[in-house]
Amino acid sequence: MEAQDNHINYIEFKAKDLQEIKGFYKASFDWTFVDYGETYIAFSDSGLEGGFEKTENEIVNGALIVLYHHNIESIKNKIIEVGGRITKDIFSFPGGRRFHFMDPSGNELAVWSDS
């Protein structure tokens, strides 16, 4: 499915042990995985693509909702204008660029772009 502006496109979870979490979701729900080094795995065959990021920190809110927008700078500026707060500025990753923000209620989300 082609990514569309302003749609939820990806969900990202935290995990203490990537091999354990991969085994759990493969055995429970038959998800498939792609490893991206020692700190990240992506999953598919779940209804919505996503990934697990390795963390040593306590997991409080383990899900990060990731939206798509073709113009990452434009949507970042719009989020700031309407009261959002950038928590992680634009950075590159395999496949594109993204940033994280807090909404007015304190929920952290991210926006990514493939351009």
CATH 3.10.180.10 fits 69-115, yes or no: yes
Just give the CATH number of 11-59: 3.30.720.120
Q: What are the sequence ranges of the domains in the chain?
A: 11-59, 69-115
Q: Are 87 and 108 in contact (CB under 8 A)?
A: yes
The structure's pTM equals: 0.81
Tens of pLDDT, residue by residue over 75-106, are 999 999 999 999 999 999 989 999 999 998 88
Tens of pLDDT, residue by residue over 18-44, are 999 999 999 988 999 999 999 999 999
Q: What is the Cα–Cα distance from 29 to 76, expressed in whole angstroms?
A: 35
- What is the pLDDT, as a whole number, of residue 1? 65
SS3 content of the chain, % helix, strand, coil (to 5): 20, 45, 35
